[in-house]
Structure 1
Amino acid sequence: MTTCQVHLGTLLKRLRQVPRDAQRIIETAIDTDAKGFLKDIVAITPPSMGKANKESQRRGENAIIHDLLGTRSGGGRRTGGVFVVMADEVVNKATIGSQNVRLFATKDGKVYGCDTRFFKPYATVDEMFAYHQSKRLKSGRVSEAGGRTRDVGRWKFIDQMIVSASAWNRYRKWIIQRVGMLAAGFNAAAQKLGVPLPVWIKRHGTGRGAVNIQRSLGSYSITIRNSVPYGNKNDLPRRIRFVLQSDKRKKRLAHRIRAEIRVALRKNKLTD
């Protein structure tokens, strides 16, 4: 758990001038701080890189497609790919043997095929997802290995799952809906504190996180929890510490406390 304590310093002396308002001032300041934290952390939670917007959503969707099909020309992190997509009419004409599948032959005589275990032309979403996850490294990233053919004589064996275009389209529509799930671990807190988040993050619901507000005389705390299991693999703890320790956050909190103290002083007709 990453914790944060607020040190009031010289502001504590000013709070003592308005003792009846001190609790309200602290609660208002911490509420404001928590809302600011949520906005800041969501803005740097993958796939967002400074702002959680449509561009970030598209970035996340494209990253998934690159992982699954392999990075081609145009930059991006190199991946070997997970699936090879072929037209339905091509896989329907494939010749299935006891161990190998003959997919098609080129004009120069090369025969493309695969082991029978890789031939899943009409795989279900669950089957494709299981295979997809099997290609993940401990870091959570999809392996960069693979993506090449294995030559045996005139045969070129493809060592990736062969799926039809129709199966791929079903899986693609399903898998890109997962974009925003890591940031969705903050949905519960955002909903409770009234912080608006993009639809592509809100759609995942509030079940992957929690928020707890504890209030007593002289004490007030807000605990925000993101329980998405792959948060550590996406460096989420470091991102959280970065936001909590940022000068932007400290200045925002101090500014809010000063503003609330000024209001209380004027209300009590005291000198600012």
Structure 2
Amino acid sequence: MSITLTVDTTRYAALVRDLAKRTGRTVQKELKVAARGLCWELAKAMQPFGMDDKAKGQGESAIRRDLFGSGQKGLTSSTVRRFGIFKTLPDSIIANATEEESTTVQIFAKKNGEVYGTDKEHFMRNPSVGDLDAIHHSAFRDGRMSSVSAFDRTIGRWKFITRTVIPESKGVQILNMLVARVGFAKAGWATCARIIGDAANSTRDFPRWVKRHRDAPGEVEDRTDDPNQPTLTIVNNINYTRRVLSQQNMSIALKDAEYKLRARIQNAIDHPPKSS
């Protein structure tokens, strides 16, 4: 069963009625405008934070950092700022790695007798992209990507790599797949805005890198025709939504949407529609 995030517009009912009276438009129309604005605010509040190209770039950079870490190059480099969950090595080195009878894998031996290896549990000679995606998915907790915290271990002449070792070609594949997915969680709210409609382009404020995910699941329960309590319930059905939108940021998004609704009311007061 997927985890969904549901938000309804009940909290805005009084404000919407006030706005409708001042603009001369229907409560139903004003509520849909407010709900589309809320969709945008919720998407903005999700990781990567923001809706501009900078946010997209930050999301892509975060994926590279999560997968492969930062500040390290090659097999024997010791310059590390942050470890990732994978260690990529040339395909030829992976292909020639020797799995010992015990639980170890000998990956590379230097002329001075030092041996670089890992345990079989962390060695993937030919993983599928799905396998790597599952590892990446399981390492994401509480809105953050966990990281291997220890340096490679040295035991005698052996230096053990503590990350999951994969071929470089597979690293490229998983990176390309995840980078292409940036904005997918935000797109669940774009789907809601598109369903709400009531505008020539109901997702015009969403950037292309979010709108490209037209298959992102979202749904809307429209009860705007209820004369006593008109509401819209918007649902983001992407199963990791709660991990990239904290309760605190969701509260901020709700308040920002309310602030903009009040600003529209004030604008209607300052500039009332001309009577016909």
Deviations 1:151-206 (A, max 9, x none): 11010011222111111111111122221122122122221321222232223335
Q: Which residue of 2 aligns with 1:270?
A: none
Deviation, 1:101, is: 1.8
Unaligned runs of 5+ in 1: 268-272
Where do 5+ consecutive residues of structure 2 fail to align?
Answer: 1-5, 73-80
2:115 and 2:157 in contact (8 A); partners too: yes
1:60 partnered with 2:69: no
**One of 6, 15, 37 as aligned partner of 2:13:** 6
Structure 1 position 249 matched with structure 2 position 260: yes
SS at match of 1:5: helix
Pick the aligned partner of 1:195 from 190, 193, 203: 203
For 1:151 and 1:114, the matched residues in 2 are separated by 11
Contact 2:28 2:225 in 1 (8 A): no
**For structure 1, which segment, 116-125 or 211-220, has the greater mean C-alpha deviation from structure 2 after superposition?**
211-220
Deviations 1:8-54 (A, max 9, x none): 59958x94xx9xx96x34233223222322233322321033xx122
1:114 correspondence with 2:118: yes
- Higher normalized contact order (CA 8 Å, seq sep 6+, divided by chain length): 2
User: TM-score when scaled to structure 1?
Assistant: 0.79
Equivalent positions of 1:1-272 (< 5 A) are 1-3=6-8, 4-8=11-15, 11=18, 15=21, 24-49=25-50, 52-72=51-71, 79-99=82-102, 100-137=104-141, 139-146=142-149, 148-192=151-195, 193=197, 194-196=202-204, 197-216=206-225, 218=227, 220-246=230-256, 248-255=259-266, 258=269, 262-263=272-273, 266-267=275-276
Residues 1:232 and 1:79: Cα distance change in structure 2 (over 3 Å): farther
Write the distance in 1 (CA, Å) between the matches of 2:16 and 2:144. 44
CA contact (8 A) 1:29 1:257 kept: no
Q: Which amino acid aligns with 1:5?
A: Y
Letter in 1 for 2:183: G
Identity %: 25
Q: For residues 227 and 186 of structure 1, what CA distance do their matches in structure 2 show?
A: 9
Q: What CA deviation, in whole Å up to 9, does each residue of 1:56-89 have, x standing for no partner?
A: 112111101111112338xxxx753211101122
* Distance (whole Å) between structure 1 residues aligned to residue 61 and residue 130 of structure 2: 21
TM-score by length of 2: 0.78
Q: Output the CA distance in 1 between the equivalents of 2:156 and 2:17.
A: 80
3-state DSSP class of the match of 2:12? coil
Note if contact 2:16-2:31 (Cα within 8 Å) is conserved in structure 1.
no
| Number of residue equivalences | 252
Question: Does the 8 Å contact 1:109/1:154 carry over to 2?
Answer: yes
